[in-house]
Amino acid sequence: DAKTTQPPSMDCAEGRAANLPCNHSTISGNEYVYWYRQIHSQGPQYIIHGLKNNETNEMASLIITEDRKSSTLILPHATLRDTAVYYCIVRDYGGSQGNLIFGKGTKLSVKP
């Protein structure tokens, strides 16, 4: 079972920042937080991942709370092409628990 809770849907205006929340209150010390997105009928695409420090790359920023029980994915300037289902996944480092297990995700709709 997925170990994360995300809102089922969100809207965002084009050009504005999209902030997607994720709760992972049972995360353990050796679990990373990964974010993927899936544009309609395509394969999921890796966005970013982190352990406890905030991370930024060319696609997004990941803010993880100090207690690591929640995180926020930030798309700084959302475009229509960012409309997709966004998945927050916690993944164990090491051992057989390292597989990516997807939940229902958040459907982000970016509107003009």
Partner 1 sequence: ETGVTQTPRHLVMGMTNKKSLKCEQHLGHNAMYWYKQSAKKPLELMFVYNFKEQTENNSVPSRFSPECPNSSHLFLHLHTLQPEDSALYLCASSQPSWGHGNYGYTFGSGTRLTVV
Report the interface residues with partner 1, using CB under 8 A. Answer: 2, 32, 34, 36, 41-46, 49, 91, 93-96, 98-105
Tell me the helices (H) and strands (E) count for the chain, helix number first.
0, 9
- Among 47, 107, 110, smallest CA distance to 78 is for 110
Nearer to partner 1, 14 or 91 (CB): 91
10 versus 14: smaller Cβ distance to partner 1:
10
Closer by beta carbon to partner 1, 7 or else 98: 98
Least Å from the CB of residue 104 to partner 1: 5
Q: 21 vs 35, 78, 96, 97, 98, CA distance in Å? A: 11, 15, 27, 24, 23
User: Nearer Cβ to partner 1, position 21 or 44?
Assistant: 44
Q: How far is the CB of 19 from partner 1 (least distance, A)?
A: 22
> Residue 66 belongs to what H/E stretch?
none
CB of 82 to partner 1, least distance (A): 18
> Any bridge partners for residue 83, and if so which?
none
